């Protein structure tokens, strides 16, 4: 499931992913994601919940298609906060952070408010990924 996070600071968008993410989830969320990516200064919080299990039917292909269709927005990424307690996600972000423009930082699930504050540009991050 993909859902928009409520109560985000001005200028910050956020999503929560949980369970198995399917192609249908991406299709239902496309309009919201397009709106979130319409800025020239994208500040983003992504919560990957403890029950996240990866991709379900068609989910990986839909994620790749969504990423390719939104590649033009990549230069607009200013700050991306990833909030998770999943070690494999943390390791993947550390390995691939150099591919993501802007700053990226990692926060534990109990640090959502700190992640929101950081994404808004109000603090520097602990846990910033190498090279960021």
Number of folded domains that form the chain: 1
- Report the distance separating Cα 94 and Cα 75, nearest Å: 20
Kindly report, residue by residue over 35-51, the tens digit of the pLDDT.
Answer: 888 888 999 999 999 99
Q: Is residue 129 part of a domain?
A: no
Alpha carbon 2 to chain centroid distance?
A: 11
- Judge whether 128 lies within some domain: no
pLDDT value of position 104:
93
Q: For residue 30, what are the CA distances in angstroms to 25, 63, 93?
A: 9, 11, 23
Question: What would the pLDDT profile of 94-103 be if each residue is shown by its tens digit?
Answer: 998 888 888 9
Q: Residue for token digits 């390719």?
A: 68
How far, rounded to the nearest angstrom, does the alpha carbon of residue 64 sit from its chain's CA centroid? 14
Structural domain range at position 38: 2-119
69: which residues sit within 8 A by CB, 6+ positions away?
none
CATH number, domain of 31, equals: 3.30.750
């Amino acid at each position: 499931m993909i859902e928009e996070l409520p109560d985000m600071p001005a200028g910050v968008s956020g999503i929560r992913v949980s369970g198995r993410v399917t192609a249908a989830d991406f299709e239902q969320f496309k309009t919201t994601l397009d709106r979130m990516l319409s800025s020239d200064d994208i500040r983003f919080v992504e919560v990957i919940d403890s029950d996240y299990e990866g991709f379900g039917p068609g989910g990986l292909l839909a994620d790749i298609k969504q990423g390719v269709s939104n590649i033009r927005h990549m230069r607009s990424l200013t700050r991306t906060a990833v909030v998770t307690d999943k070690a494999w996600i943390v390791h993947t972000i550390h390995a691939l952070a150099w591919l993501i423009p802007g700053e990226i930082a990692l926060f534990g699930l109990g640090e959502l408010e700190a992640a929101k504050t950081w994404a808004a540009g109000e603090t520097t991050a602990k846990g910033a990924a190498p090279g960021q």
